[in-house]
Amino acid sequence: MPSRFLPLIACLALPGALCAADPIRVSTFSTVLTEVAQQVGGDRVVVTGHIKPGIDPHEFEPKPIDLKTVSQSQLVLLSAKHMEGYVNKLKEATGGKSRVVEVGDQFPSLKMKDDHDHAHAHGKGKDDDHDELVEDPHWWHSVANVKRAAKVVRDELAKIRPDDQAIFKKNADTYLASLDSLQSWVKTKVAELPRDRRKLVTSHDAFQYFAKENGFTIYAIEGVSSSDQPSSKKVAEIVAAIKAQNVKAVFPESIENPKVLTEITRETGAKIGGELYADGLGDDDAATYAGMVKHNVAAIVDALK
């Protein structure tokens, strides 16, 4: 008998001993959480990232193949703070057999105006009142929040596989140390910009957590969803603010059409800064969390100097 079958036979004969080493199947619905799960889980997990880089998570809807994968997962990680309007579908798909963790709900929220399509994500009808305050779901723009997320994932993996708790802690500690360095890099880079020039005009209201940590004021041209369209009044207010505050640059984001920003730059003379990754990881230098953060921060600071 070929020796390569021996582990399989042993596994079938002694499932409690050898098959316990099977990797934990994890499904994630955030590109950032995909990285967190891979870093903390290491070779003890197999992670399926259902939202790929460049996909708008505000618009994502799981397909039958996603639900099938979720039904076979032991841990499902969601961004939450109402980002995923389809959470009940996922819970149904698991049949209550796996852990569905709404990671962002484990730490404090900033509030933002729910002025347009966010009703979609809340599962509300279109006739619901607009302009109410909702939780801002873009928590990953704070490195401190991603550190919190890594701890949540570490603890959840340890609940599923207590024997590997020490491995998850070691992996998490290494990842947290890299996030400490990233946080320090952000503070140092942002310190190159005078505090009175920290005014961020973006096409998508996604950077509140970053702004709060680093002393920026946000002038968002849209509300929560990147499919929102701004009113003429809102655009006029932003143009006035840009002129009065002498803002040097405005920023499109990686996903949507920056047409409105082009109009604003024509009115104000501000230049268009580099593209920002608002809704998760991207390609090339933004393919990792640290890469995405450094790309965004360098683009903002260098353009506003």
What is the distance between the alpha carbons of residues 213 and 215, in angstroms, rounded to a whole number? 6
Minimum CB–partner distance for residue 251 and another protein (Å): 18
Q: Which is nearer to another protein, 69 or 178 (CB)?
A: 178
* Nearest Cα residue to 258 out of 286, 301, 282, 222: 222
CB 42 within 8 A of CB 20: no
Q: By CB under 8 A, is residue 193 in contact with another protein?
A: yes
Q: Which is nearer to another protein, 100 or 270 (CB)?
A: 270
Q: Which stretch binds another protein (CB under 8 A): 58-66, 143-151, 232-240, 269-277?
A: 232-240
Candidate residues 59, 102, 105, 237; the one interacting with another protein per rule CB under 8 A: 237
Bridge partners, 220 (sequence order): 202
* Nearest Cα residue to 125 out of 97, 69, 166, 85: 85
Region 267-296 residues binding another protein, contact defined as CB under 8 A: 267
Q: By CB under 8 A, is residue 198 in contact with another protein?
A: yes
Q: Which is nearer to another protein, 123 or 215 (CB)?
A: 215
Q: By CB under 8 A, is residue 255 in contact with another protein?
A: no
Instruction: Specify whether the backbone of 82 is left (phi greater than 0), alpha (psi in -120 to 50) or beta.
Output: left
Minimum CB–partner distance for residue 177 and another protein (Å): 15
Minimum CB–partner distance for residue 264 and another protein (Å): 8
Q: By CB under 8 A, is residue 188 in contact with another protein?
A: yes
Candidate residues 239, 278, 292, 303; the one interacting with another protein per rule CB under 8 A: 239
Minimum CB–partner distance for residue 9 and another protein (Å): 53
Residues near another protein (CB under 8 A), total: 27
What is the distance between the alpha carbons of residues 191 and 177, in angstroms, rounded to a whole number? 21
Cβ count within 10 A of residue 246:
11
Q: By CB under 8 A, is residue 192 in contact with another protein?
A: yes
Minimum CB–partner distance for residue 190 and another protein (Å): 7
What is the distance between the alpha carbons of residues 25 and 263, in angstroms, rounded to a whole number? 47
Q: By CB under 8 A, is residue 302 in contact with another protein?
A: no
What is the distance between the alpha carbons of residues 225 and 119, in angstroms, rounded to a whole number? 10
**Amino acid, single-letter form, for residue 161:** R
Using CB under 8 A as the criterion, what x/- string covers residues 167-186 for binding another protein? -----------------x--
Q: By CB under 8 A, is residue 68 in contact with another protein?
A: no
Q: By CB under 8 A, is residue 257 in contact with another protein?
A: no
Q: Which stretch binds another protein (CB under 8 A): 93-101, 135-143, 167-175, 193-201?
A: 193-201
* Nearest Cα residue to 296 out of 236, 163, 206, 221: 206
Candidate residues 235, 272, 287, 299; the one interacting with another protein per rule CB under 8 A: 235
Q: Which residues bind another protein (CB under 8 A)?
A: 184, 187-188, 190-196, 198, 215, 232, 235-237, 239-241, 243-246, 260, 263-264, 267
